[in-house]
Chain A
Amino acid sequence: MVSKIWGYFIVIGIVYSFIFGDVIALNETILNSTKTSLELILQIFPVIALWLGIAEIATQSGILSKLSNSLSRILHPLFPEIPKNHISLNYIASNIIANLFGLGNAATPFGLKAMSSLQELNKDKTRASRSMITFTSINTSGVTIVPTTIIALRILYKSNSPTITVISTLISTLIATVFALIIDRLIAGRYHE
Protein backbone atom coordinates (compact mmCIF):
# COMPACT_ATOMS: atom_id res chain seq x y z
CA MET A 1 0.00 0.00 0.00
CA VAL A 2 2.89 2.36 0.78
CA SER A 3 4.30 1.38 -2.61
CA LYS A 4 1.07 2.37 -4.38
CA ILE A 5 0.92 5.72 -2.60
CA TRP A 6 4.54 6.29 -3.55
CA GLY A 7 3.66 5.88 -7.22
CA TYR A 8 0.48 7.95 -7.04
CA PHE A 9 2.31 10.82 -5.33
CA ILE A 10 4.85 10.96 -8.17
CA VAL A 11 2.33 10.64 -11.00
CA ILE A 12 -0.17 13.11 -9.53
CA GLY A 13 2.59 15.53 -8.51
CA ILE A 14 4.24 15.60 -11.93
CA VAL A 15 1.00 15.81 -13.93
CA TYR A 16 -0.35 18.56 -11.66
CA SER A 17 2.91 20.51 -11.97
CA PHE A 18 2.72 20.21 -15.77
CA ILE A 19 -0.78 21.64 -15.85
CA PHE A 20 -0.88 24.21 -13.04
CA GLY A 21 2.60 24.41 -11.60
CA ASP A 22 6.16 25.41 -12.27
CA VAL A 23 8.10 22.93 -14.43
CA ILE A 24 11.49 24.48 -13.64
CA ALA A 25 10.80 24.09 -9.94
CA LEU A 26 9.77 20.49 -10.61
CA ASN A 27 13.18 19.78 -12.16
CA GLU A 28 14.85 21.23 -9.08
CA THR A 29 12.63 19.21 -6.78
CA ILE A 30 13.54 15.94 -8.50
CA LEU A 31 17.27 16.61 -8.54
CA ASN A 32 17.39 18.13 -5.05
CA SER A 33 15.80 15.05 -3.50
CA THR A 34 19.10 13.22 -3.91
CA LYS A 35 20.99 16.01 -2.19
CA THR A 36 18.50 16.34 0.65
CA SER A 37 18.45 12.62 1.32
CA LEU A 38 22.23 12.45 1.42
CA GLU A 39 22.29 15.38 3.86
CA LEU A 40 19.68 13.63 5.97
CA ILE A 41 21.59 10.36 6.03
CA LEU A 42 24.76 12.24 6.97
CA GLN A 43 22.82 13.76 9.84
CA ILE A 44 21.32 10.48 11.00
CA PHE A 45 24.33 8.20 10.43
CA PRO A 46 26.56 9.50 13.26
CA VAL A 47 23.60 9.52 15.63
CA ILE A 48 22.84 5.90 14.77
CA ALA A 49 26.51 5.02 15.26
CA LEU A 50 26.48 6.70 18.67
CA TRP A 51 23.28 5.08 19.92
CA LEU A 52 24.03 1.60 18.62
CA GLY A 53 27.35 1.83 20.47
CA ILE A 54 25.67 2.93 23.70
CA ALA A 55 22.92 0.34 23.19
CA GLU A 56 25.48 -2.47 22.87
CA ILE A 57 26.97 -1.50 26.24
CA ALA A 58 23.47 -1.45 27.68
CA THR A 59 22.74 -4.88 26.19
CA GLN A 60 25.95 -6.47 27.48
CA SER A 61 25.62 -5.05 30.97
CA GLY A 62 22.05 -6.33 31.16
CA ILE A 63 20.54 -2.93 31.99
CA LEU A 64 18.55 -2.95 28.75
CA SER A 65 16.76 -6.18 29.56
CA LYS A 66 16.32 -5.10 33.19
CA LEU A 67 14.69 -1.84 32.11
CA SER A 68 12.51 -3.38 29.47
CA ASN A 69 11.50 -6.35 31.63
CA SER A 70 9.32 -4.01 33.63
CA LEU A 71 7.87 -2.57 30.42
CA SER A 72 7.50 -5.96 28.78
CA ARG A 73 4.89 -6.99 31.34
CA ILE A 74 2.68 -4.33 29.78
CA LEU A 75 3.97 -5.00 26.27
CA HIS A 76 3.75 -8.78 26.21
CA PRO A 77 -0.05 -9.01 25.85
CA LEU A 78 0.23 -6.66 22.85
CA PHE A 79 2.79 -8.93 21.18
CA PRO A 80 1.61 -12.47 21.88
CA GLU A 81 3.63 -13.85 18.94
CA ILE A 82 6.97 -12.86 20.47
CA PRO A 83 8.46 -15.61 22.67
CA LYS A 84 9.25 -14.54 26.25
CA ASN A 85 12.73 -13.04 26.72
CA HIS A 86 13.19 -12.53 22.98
CA ILE A 87 15.50 -9.57 22.29
CA SER A 88 12.95 -7.83 20.06
CA LEU A 89 10.81 -6.92 23.08
CA ASN A 90 13.83 -5.16 24.58
CA TYR A 91 14.33 -3.11 21.43
CA ILE A 92 10.63 -2.27 21.24
CA ALA A 93 10.71 -1.16 24.88
CA SER A 94 13.85 0.93 24.27
CA ASN A 95 12.25 2.54 21.24
CA ILE A 96 9.15 3.44 23.25
CA ILE A 97 11.23 4.78 26.17
CA ALA A 98 13.30 6.94 23.79
CA ASN A 99 10.12 8.26 22.18
CA LEU A 100 8.56 8.99 25.57
CA PHE A 101 11.43 11.30 26.42
CA GLY A 102 11.34 12.95 23.02
CA LEU A 103 14.66 11.47 21.92
CA GLY A 104 13.50 10.84 18.37
CA ASN A 105 17.07 10.37 17.13
CA ALA A 106 17.74 7.63 19.63
CA ALA A 107 14.38 6.03 18.95
CA THR A 108 15.07 5.36 15.26
CA PRO A 109 18.07 2.99 15.67
CA PHE A 110 16.17 1.02 18.34
CA GLY A 111 13.14 0.91 16.08
CA LEU A 112 15.19 -0.44 13.18
CA LYS A 113 16.78 -3.05 15.45
CA ALA A 114 13.31 -4.00 16.66
CA MET A 115 12.15 -4.46 13.07
CA SER A 116 15.10 -6.67 12.12
CA SER A 117 14.65 -8.86 15.19
CA LEU A 118 10.92 -9.12 14.49
CA GLN A 119 11.81 -10.12 10.93
CA GLU A 120 13.76 -13.09 12.35
CA LEU A 121 10.52 -14.36 13.88
CA ASN A 122 8.51 -13.59 10.75
CA LYS A 123 7.50 -16.62 8.69
CA ASP A 124 6.88 -14.85 5.37
CA LYS A 125 9.78 -12.43 4.92
CA THR A 126 8.00 -10.23 2.37
CA ARG A 127 4.84 -9.78 4.41
CA ALA A 128 4.46 -7.68 7.57
CA SER A 129 3.82 -9.79 10.68
CA ARG A 130 1.14 -8.88 13.18
CA SER A 131 3.76 -7.87 15.78
CA MET A 132 5.41 -5.54 13.28
CA ILE A 133 2.13 -3.80 12.56
CA THR A 134 1.35 -3.43 16.26
CA PHE A 135 4.82 -1.98 16.76
CA THR A 136 4.61 0.53 13.91
CA SER A 137 1.09 1.50 15.02
CA ILE A 138 2.37 2.43 18.48
CA ASN A 139 5.34 4.16 16.91
CA THR A 140 3.47 6.29 14.37
CA SER A 141 0.84 7.38 16.88
CA GLY A 142 3.79 9.09 18.55
CA VAL A 143 3.61 8.41 22.27
CA THR A 144 5.60 11.14 23.93
CA ILE A 145 5.82 12.78 27.35
CA VAL A 146 8.35 15.47 26.47
CA PRO A 147 7.94 16.85 22.92
CA THR A 148 11.51 18.19 22.86
CA THR A 149 11.47 19.67 19.35
CA ILE A 150 8.33 21.67 20.05
CA ILE A 151 9.58 22.93 23.41
CA ALA A 152 12.90 23.97 21.86
CA LEU A 153 11.07 25.79 19.07
CA ARG A 154 8.75 27.54 21.52
CA ILE A 155 11.73 28.69 23.58
CA LEU A 156 13.35 29.96 20.39
CA TYR A 157 10.26 32.08 19.70
CA LYS A 158 10.39 33.43 23.27
CA SER A 159 7.16 31.87 24.45
CA ASN A 160 5.88 32.83 27.91
CA SER A 161 5.21 29.17 28.66
CA PRO A 162 7.19 26.86 26.35
CA THR A 163 5.87 23.72 28.02
CA ILE A 164 2.17 24.63 28.04
CA THR A 165 1.35 22.20 25.21
CA VAL A 166 2.86 19.21 27.04
CA ILE A 167 -0.48 18.34 28.66
CA SER A 168 -2.60 18.76 25.52
CA THR A 169 -0.05 16.75 23.51
CA LEU A 170 0.04 13.98 26.12
CA ILE A 171 -3.75 13.62 26.19
CA SER A 172 -4.14 13.63 22.39
CA THR A 173 -1.28 11.22 21.84
CA LEU A 174 -2.68 8.84 24.47
CA ILE A 175 -6.08 8.86 22.79
CA ALA A 176 -4.46 8.25 19.39
CA THR A 177 -2.28 5.41 20.68
CA VAL A 178 -5.10 3.64 22.51
CA PHE A 179 -7.25 4.00 19.40
CA ALA A 180 -4.44 2.64 17.20
CA LEU A 181 -4.07 -0.41 19.46
CA ILE A 182 -7.82 -1.08 19.44
CA ILE A 183 -8.08 -0.80 15.64
CA ASP A 184 -4.96 -2.95 15.29
CA ARG A 185 -6.56 -5.63 17.50
CA LEU A 186 -9.86 -5.50 15.62
CA ILE A 187 -8.29 -5.81 12.17
CA ALA A 188 -5.83 -8.49 13.29
CA GLY A 189 -8.82 -10.39 14.69
CA ARG A 190 -10.52 -10.20 11.31
CA TYR A 191 -7.47 -11.86 9.77
CA HIS A 192 -7.81 -14.62 12.45
CA GLU A 193 -4.38 -13.98 13.85
Chain B
Amino acid sequence: MSDYVLPLIVLIIVFYGIIKKVDLYDAFIKGSKESFKMSFTIFPNLLAMLLSVNIFVNSGLLEDMVNFLLPFLKVPIEVISLMIMRPISGNATLALLNTIYTKYGVDSFYSLLGSTIQGCTDTTLYVLALYYGSVGIKNTRYALRVSLLADIVGIVSSLIICYLLFF
Protein backbone atom coordinates (compact mmCIF):
# COMPACT_ATOMS: atom_id res chain seq x y z
CA MET B 1 0.00 0.00 0.00
CA SER B 2 2.64 2.56 1.10
CA ASP B 3 4.64 1.57 -2.00
CA TYR B 4 2.14 3.51 -4.10
CA VAL B 5 2.47 6.80 -2.21
CA LEU B 6 5.74 8.03 -3.72
CA PRO B 7 5.09 7.19 -7.41
CA LEU B 8 1.55 8.54 -7.08
CA ILE B 9 2.80 11.89 -5.78
CA VAL B 10 5.25 12.17 -8.68
CA LEU B 11 2.52 11.13 -11.15
CA ILE B 12 -0.02 13.64 -9.85
CA ILE B 13 2.44 16.54 -9.84
CA VAL B 14 3.76 15.86 -13.34
CA PHE B 15 0.30 15.15 -14.77
CA TYR B 16 -1.09 18.37 -13.28
CA GLY B 17 1.94 20.19 -14.72
CA ILE B 18 1.09 18.86 -18.21
CA ILE B 19 -2.52 20.04 -17.88
CA LYS B 20 -1.38 23.50 -16.75
CA LYS B 21 1.14 23.63 -19.65
CA VAL B 22 4.18 24.09 -17.41
CA ASP B 23 7.59 23.86 -19.10
CA LEU B 24 8.21 20.69 -17.11
CA TYR B 25 11.83 20.04 -17.96
CA ASP B 26 12.96 23.64 -17.37
CA ALA B 27 11.06 23.80 -14.10
CA PHE B 28 12.63 20.59 -12.85
CA ILE B 29 16.16 21.77 -13.72
CA LYS B 30 15.57 25.18 -12.19
CA GLY B 31 14.40 23.69 -8.91
CA SER B 32 17.01 20.97 -8.89
CA LYS B 33 19.86 23.46 -9.32
CA GLU B 34 19.13 24.91 -5.90
CA SER B 35 20.11 21.62 -4.30
CA PHE B 36 23.81 22.44 -4.75
CA LYS B 37 23.59 25.58 -2.69
CA MET B 38 21.40 23.86 -0.12
CA SER B 39 23.72 20.89 0.25
CA PHE B 40 26.74 23.16 0.64
CA THR B 41 25.05 25.05 3.46
CA ILE B 42 23.92 21.97 5.32
CA PHE B 43 27.19 20.06 5.07
CA PRO B 44 29.06 22.02 7.80
CA ASN B 45 26.00 21.71 10.02
CA LEU B 46 25.87 17.97 9.53
CA LEU B 47 29.56 17.61 10.22
CA ALA B 48 29.40 19.73 13.36
CA MET B 49 26.42 17.79 14.70
CA LEU B 50 27.88 14.36 13.97
CA LEU B 51 31.22 15.29 15.51
CA SER B 52 29.72 16.49 18.77
CA VAL B 53 27.04 13.79 19.07
CA ASN B 54 29.44 10.96 18.23
CA ILE B 55 32.06 12.10 20.74
CA PHE B 56 29.38 12.30 23.41
CA VAL B 57 27.58 9.05 22.58
CA ASN B 58 30.75 6.99 22.08
CA SER B 59 32.31 8.22 25.33
CA GLY B 60 30.11 5.68 27.12
CA LEU B 61 28.79 8.20 29.64
CA LEU B 62 25.16 7.55 28.74
CA GLU B 63 25.59 3.77 28.92
CA ASP B 64 27.21 4.04 32.33
CA MET B 65 24.41 6.29 33.52
CA VAL B 66 21.76 3.87 32.27
CA ASN B 67 23.57 0.95 33.90
CA PHE B 68 23.62 2.85 37.14
CA LEU B 69 19.89 3.57 36.97
CA LEU B 70 18.93 0.13 35.71
CA PRO B 71 18.24 -1.57 39.08
CA PHE B 72 15.56 1.03 39.79
CA LEU B 73 13.72 0.53 36.52
CA LYS B 74 11.78 -2.40 35.19
CA VAL B 75 12.46 -1.82 31.52
CA PRO B 76 15.42 -3.35 29.61
CA ILE B 77 18.54 -1.25 29.15
CA GLU B 78 18.06 -0.97 25.37
CA VAL B 79 14.62 0.60 25.80
CA ILE B 80 15.93 3.14 28.34
CA SER B 81 18.84 4.00 26.06
CA LEU B 82 16.41 4.41 23.17
CA MET B 83 14.39 6.93 25.17
CA ILE B 84 17.44 8.96 26.18
CA MET B 85 19.05 8.88 22.74
CA ARG B 86 15.94 9.60 20.68
CA PRO B 87 16.29 13.42 20.51
CA ILE B 88 20.07 13.21 20.07
CA SER B 89 20.79 10.65 17.38
CA GLY B 90 18.51 8.99 14.83
CA ASN B 91 21.12 6.47 13.70
CA ALA B 92 21.94 5.34 17.23
CA THR B 93 18.27 4.77 18.09
CA LEU B 94 17.65 2.86 14.88
CA ALA B 95 20.57 0.58 15.79
CA LEU B 96 19.11 0.14 19.28
CA LEU B 97 15.72 -0.73 17.79
CA ASN B 98 17.41 -3.41 15.69
CA THR B 99 18.96 -4.83 18.87
CA ILE B 100 15.60 -4.84 20.65
CA TYR B 101 13.93 -6.64 17.73
CA THR B 102 16.62 -9.32 17.66
CA LYS B 103 16.86 -9.77 21.41
CA TYR B 104 13.18 -9.73 22.44
CA GLY B 105 11.43 -10.63 19.17
CA VAL B 106 9.86 -8.19 16.76
CA ASP B 107 6.32 -8.67 18.11
CA SER B 108 7.23 -8.50 21.79
CA PHE B 109 5.98 -5.70 24.03
CA TYR B 110 9.39 -4.01 24.20
CA SER B 111 9.69 -4.01 20.42
CA LEU B 112 6.24 -2.45 20.06
CA LEU B 113 7.14 0.16 22.67
CA GLY B 114 10.47 0.88 20.97
CA SER B 115 8.81 1.19 17.56
CA THR B 116 6.28 3.63 18.95
CA ILE B 117 8.93 5.79 20.61
CA GLN B 118 11.05 5.78 17.47
CA GLY B 119 8.07 6.73 15.32
CA CYS B 120 6.39 9.34 17.48
CA THR B 121 9.25 11.84 17.79
CA ASP B 122 12.02 13.11 15.57
CA THR B 123 15.75 13.64 16.09
CA THR B 124 15.21 17.05 17.67
CA LEU B 125 18.80 18.19 18.04
CA TYR B 126 19.68 17.31 14.46
CA VAL B 127 16.60 18.99 12.99
CA LEU B 128 17.17 22.18 15.01
CA ALA B 129 20.86 22.38 14.13
CA LEU B 130 20.14 21.74 10.46
CA TYR B 131 17.16 24.07 10.07
CA TYR B 132 18.49 27.02 12.05
CA GLY B 133 22.05 26.48 10.81
CA SER B 134 20.91 26.53 7.16
CA VAL B 135 19.65 30.11 7.49
CA GLY B 136 22.45 31.32 9.77
CA ILE B 137 20.44 31.82 12.94
CA LYS B 138 22.56 31.77 16.07
CA ASN B 139 20.02 32.61 18.72
CA THR B 140 17.37 29.88 18.69
CA ARG B 141 15.64 31.30 21.80
CA TYR B 142 13.10 28.87 23.28
CA ALA B 143 13.05 26.45 20.30
CA LEU B 144 15.06 23.72 22.02
CA ARG B 145 13.05 23.94 25.25
CA VAL B 146 9.73 23.48 23.46
CA SER B 147 11.01 20.63 21.30
CA LEU B 148 12.65 18.69 24.13
CA LEU B 149 9.56 19.04 26.33
CA ALA B 150 7.46 17.73 23.47
CA ASP B 151 9.84 14.78 23.11
CA ILE B 152 9.44 13.91 26.79
CA VAL B 153 5.67 14.13 26.47
CA GLY B 154 5.80 11.94 23.35
CA ILE B 155 7.89 9.30 25.11
CA VAL B 156 5.73 9.28 28.23
CA SER B 157 2.54 8.99 26.18
CA SER B 158 4.12 6.17 24.15
CA LEU B 159 4.74 4.32 27.42
CA ILE B 160 1.17 4.81 28.65
CA ILE B 161 -0.48 4.03 25.34
CA CYS B 162 1.62 0.92 24.72
CA TYR B 163 0.79 -0.36 28.20
CA LEU B 164 -2.90 0.23 27.52
CA LEU B 165 -2.91 -1.30 24.04
CA PHE B 166 -0.31 -4.05 24.02
CA PHE B 167 0.56 -5.16 27.53
- Interface residues, chain A, CB within 8 Å of chain B? 1-3, 5-7, 9-10, 12-14, 16-17, 20-21, 25-26, 29-30, 32-34, 36-38, 40-41, 44-45, 48-50, 52-63, 101-103, 108-109, 111-112, 115-116, 118-119, 125-128, 132-133, 136-137, 139-142, 144, 146-151, 153-154, 157-161, 164-165, 167-169, 171-173, 175-177, 179-180, 183-184, 187-188, 191
Known contacts A2-B128, A2-B132, A21-B60; A10/B28 CB under 8 A: no
Known contacts A116-B135, A169-B115, A180-B146; A2/B50 CB under 8 A: no
Dominant secondary structure of chain B at its interface with chain A = helix
Interface string of B101-113 (1 = CB under 8 A from A): 1100011000010
Interface string of B97-134 (1 = CB under 8 A from A): 11001100011000010011111111011011111101
Instruction: Tell me the nearest residue of chain B to A152, going by C-beta.
Output: B2
6 more A-B residue pairs beyond the given contacts A116-B134, A187-B142, with a C-beta to C-beta distance below 8 A: A13-B55, A125-B136, A132-B137, A141-B121, A147-B119, A168-B112
Size band of the interface chain B makes with A: 35 or more
In contact, A136 and B147 (Cβ under 8 angstroms): yes
Known contacts A21-B59, A168-B112; A41/B39 CB under 8 A: yes
In contact, A165 and B127 (Cβ under 8 angstroms): no
Instruction: Tell me the nearest residue of chain B to A119, going by C-beta.
Output: B135
A155 to chain B, nearest CB (A): 9
- Interface residues, chain B, CB within 8 Å of chain A? 2, 5-6, 9-10, 12-14, 16-17, 19-20, 22-24, 27-32, 34-36, 38-39, 42-43, 46-61, 64, 87, 94, 97-98, 101-102, 106-107, 112, 115-122, 124-125, 127-132, 134-147, 149-151, 153-154, 157-158, 161-162, 165-166
In contact, B131 and A176 (Cβ under 8 angstroms): no
| Inter-chain contacts of A184 with B (CB < 8 A) | 146
Known contacts A53-B31, A176-B157, A183-B150; A158/B106 CB under 8 A: yes
In contact, A16 and B12 (Cβ under 8 angstroms): no
